[in-house]
């Protein structure tokens, strides 16, 4: 399981959960303008041809699975957890033609069965070090920046979501992170295991 990147680099990883959303193109525009790579953990039920998944791949971002539809996997027996994760991976791989190597459990909740299922499917489970709490800050988007920048550390994986309030502050957030001396990276594009 991955919770933090390499401690030897002064870099962080931006991750976006719960897409692909209607605002994905706008998020990609910001990332392209700022030359920032990111990781996207998608619910496979939201992936369809109208979403700009090809652009995500072409612009060097990584896609991981976030289950089919964000059920709390801990409440399911092993077989159902395995089926959910496997189905979500198959849907994403079939649509994109890209191999999926990374998995983030919904709600960040997992148990031994979750980890066993992911491992059996050849997936690395990726958690986070910094939670932006962006999902609770629709009316206070500036707080998202503080929640991230006040807790920066080398190699930190940052949890964001494909939300309007996150899009709104994303350029400012990227600038604030850079001002603190950090660059941006992702996990390896091939399944080379935890960092």
Read off the pLDDT of each residue in 92-120 and give the average, rounded to a whole number. 96
Alpha-carbon span 155 to 152, nearest angstrom: 9
Residue 6, pLDDT > 80, answer: no
Alpha-carbon span 59 to 192, nearest angstrom: 21
Which residues, in sequence order, are CB contacts of 50 under 8 Å at separation 6+? none
* Alpha-helical runs (H) found in 50-163: 53-58, 78-96, 112-120, 141-149
Q: Looking at residue 2, what is its pLDDT?
A: 53
Percent of the residues in the chain that have a pLDDT greater than 90, as a whole number: 89
pTM over 0.85: yes
In Å, how far are 21, 121, 151, 173, 178 from 158, measured between CA atoms?
19, 25, 10, 11, 14
Are the beta carbons of 92 and 67 closer than 8 angstroms? no
Q: Looking at residue 195, what is its pLDDT?
A: 31
Among the listed residues 154, 152, 158, the one whose alpha carbon sits nearest the alpha carbon of residue 177: 152
* Interval 63-90: pLDDT, tens: 999 999 999 999 999 999 999 999 999 9
Instruction: Kindly indicate the confidence band of residue 8, based on its pLDDT and cuts at 50, 70 and 90.
Output: low
Q: Looking at residue 177, what is its pLDDT?
A: 98
Q: Looking at residue 193, what is its pLDDT?
A: 37
Q: Looking at residue 95, what is its pLDDT?
A: 94
With b meaning 16 or more CB within 10 Å and e meaning fewer, what string describes 57-79?
Answer: eeeebbbbbbbbeeeebeebeee
Neighbours of 127 (CB within 10 A): 16
Structural domains present in the chain: 11-184 (3.20.20.370)
Alpha-carbon span 157 to 177, nearest angstrom: 13
Q: Looking at residue 9, what is its pLDDT?
A: 56
* Interval 118-141: pLDDT, tens: 999 999 999 999 999 999 999 999
Neighbours of 120 (CB within 10 A): 12
> pLDDT averaged over the chain?
92
């Amino acid at each position: 399981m991955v919770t933090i990147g390499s401690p030897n680099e002064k870099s962080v990883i931006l991750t976006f959960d719960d897409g692909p959303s209607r605002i994905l193109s706008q998020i990609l525009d910001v990332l392209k303008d700022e030359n920032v790579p990111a990781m996207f953990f998608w619910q496979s039920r939201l992936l369809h041809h109208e979403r700009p998944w090809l652009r995500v791949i072409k612009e060097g971002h990584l896609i991981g699975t976030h289950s089919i539809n964000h059920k709390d996997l801990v409440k399911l027996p092993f077989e159902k957890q395995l089926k959910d994760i496997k189905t979500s991976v198959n849907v994403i791989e079939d649509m994109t033609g890209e191999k999926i190597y990374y998995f983030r459990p919904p709600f960040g909740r997992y148990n031994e069965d979750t980890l066993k299922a992911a491992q059996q499917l050849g997936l690395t489970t990726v958690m986070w070090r910094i939670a932006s709490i962006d999902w609770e800050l629709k009316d206070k988007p500036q707080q998202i920046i503080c929640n991230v920048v006040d807790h920066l550390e080398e190699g930190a994986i940052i949890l964001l979501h494909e939300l309007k309030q996150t899009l709104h502050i994303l350029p400012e957030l990227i600038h604030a992170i850079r001002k603190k001396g950090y660059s941006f990276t992702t996990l390896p594009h091939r399944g080379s295991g935890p960092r």
